[in-house]
Amino acid sequence: MLSLFDDGFRKVLEILSKSYDSSPYFLRAYASLCQKYNSDGNRNALLVGLRRVGTNNCLHTNNNSIVGGYLLGETILSRSSITGDIYFIYVHDNVRGTGNGTILCRMFEEVVKERSLSIGVTVAIIRISLKPCIVNSISFWNKQGFEGSKSSVFLTKTIKTK
């Protein structure tokens, strides 16, 4: 778990925002969560990061750690249930296909489980909105246990917290 305002994450966002291959959606999601955090006092934002050691050609942060990937999301409590929304997942091109995306998803699930158990909820839903940048990776999400199709609004996964 990282602070929402982690310098390494900000550096990754700055680099990605200059890429022609990236989507501006992740910047809007991040800006929205920062606004909720600062003005509304909402502390449900989650930033999970993987730092890699000994990997060449990855993004280096200010403290010289190596960025393998990040997942940005939020947990939402509603009527004694928890929903974990994944807004943005990023794994550096040089370390894709090595299980980093799966690790980030599992780490996010663990945090959602912990938060669910802390309020006595035994089942939680994790969902990801099917933005254009996500539709291309639908097979990855299906492998992670998410249900839905390209025509769905969200892909969802139900997890038991006990």
In a domain, 92, yes or no: yes
Domain count, the chain: 1
pLDDT at 106: 92
pLDDT band at 21 (very low <50, low <70, confident <90, very high): low
In a domain, 2, yes or no: no
Distance CA 77, CA 124 (A): 10
The CATH number of the domain where 16 resides is what? 3.40.630.30
In a domain, 137, yes or no: yes
Distance CA 101, CA 126 (A): 15
pLDDT at 51: 63
pLDDT tens digit string along 56-113? 545 544 445 556 788 888 888 877 788 999 988 888 777 788 888 899 999 999 989 9
Whether 153 shows a pLDDT value over 60: the answer reads yes
pLDDT at 65: 53
pTM summary value: 0.78
More confident residue, 16 or 144: 144
In a domain, 27, yes or no: yes
The rounded mean pLDDT for the chain is 78
